[in-house]
Amino acid sequence: MHADLERLIALQALDSQAHDAERVLAGEPERTKALDARLEHARTQVKDAKDRLAANQSARRDLEKNAAVHQGRLSKYREQAMNVKTNQEYHAIQHEIAFAQGEIKTIEDQELELMMSADEMAAAIKTAESALAADQKDVDTEKKAIAADVAQKRAALEHLKRERLTVTAGLTPSALATFELVSKRRQGIAMAEARDGVCVICHVRMRPQVFNTVRRNEDVIQCESCQRILYFVAAPAASPASSS
């Protein structure tokens, strides 16, 4: 195989590995953002549950104040009932007493409903807090894994850069320039295998004499369609056992 072609194939492998590592690194902020959003949602669930319980408790305090007002009125009306002098006054006082008792009964029913709801809300808070704790643990674990992955990918990139310098140092300037130009124009893929007379990337069939030349791997030849540098991989020779 032509020395430049062999090095270009190696260079493509290095660049592809570097591209994969860079893609992982580029996606790290979004991965972290998604984890933070997951935690924020869990915190919001806890806060909402606590806010509902606080609103419940506030409503119960308001009801207690209203009940105290009606209890005071009820006591006053009962005292007045002891001193009425006419049936009309007595019936009027009894009406007020009945009204106050009705209001107190309504308030007590509302308080009971709120107390029952409060028990459910307290349970919901515990559930939300447990979910938050579990999410926090998972997120911490995932962030550690991301940090380790990022560190590994950065180290790999440094290694790949050093290897790339070694490979490019052995290339002729024209071969390297062709590779870099095609790589820039073709999203980082400058090399393409020629198989069965076809460029495996752009899927365009090449002329027979061009394919025959590519098969020899003796020169840097570009695909007439996508301009990628072509190379040929010979099929492995069949073993005696498989041919028998």
pLDDT tens for each residue of 4-38: 999 999 999 999 999 999 999 999 999 999 999 99
pLDDT of residue 200 exceeding 80: yes
Q: Classify burial at 194, counting beta carbons within 10 Å of its beta carbon; exposed 0-12, middle 13-18, buried 19 or more.
A: buried
Query: Which residue's entry shows tokens 């024209």?
Result: 174
In the chain, the domains with their CATH numbers are: 3-169 (1.10.287.1490), 173-243 (no CATH)
CA gap 44, 48 in Å, rounded: 6
pLDDT of residue 161 exceeding 80: yes
Higher per-residue confidence, 196 vs 83 = 196
If pLDDT is split at 50, 70 and 90, which confidence band does 244 have?
very low
CA gap 229, 202 in Å, rounded: 12
Q: What is the average pLDDT across 56-76?
A: 92
Average pLDDT, the chain: 93
CA gap 232, 193 in Å, rounded: 6
If pLDDT is split at 50, 70 and 90, which confidence band does 109 have?
very high
Q: What is the average pLDDT across 104-109?
A: 92
pLDDT tens for each residue of 233-243: 988 766 665 44
Please report, for residues 28, 149, 157, 190, the alpha-carbon distance to residue 22 in angstroms, rounded to integers and kept in the order given: 10, 12, 8, 18
If pLDDT is split at 50, 70 and 90, which confidence band does 79 have?
confident
Q: What is the average pLDDT across 207-213?
A: 95
pLDDT of residue 235: 81
pLDDT of residue 63: 93
pLDDT of residue 90 exceeding 90: no
pLDDT of residue 243: 47
If pLDDT is split at 50, 70 and 90, which confidence band does 77 have?
confident
Q: What is the average pLDDT across 41-51?
A: 97
CA gap 182, 127 in Å, rounded: 57
Q: What is the average pLDDT across 157-174?
A: 97
Share of the chain above pLDDT 90, in %: 83
pLDDT of residue 240: 60
Q: What is the average pLDDT across 126-138?
A: 97
pLDDT of residue 93: 86
CA gap 160, 164 in Å, rounded: 6
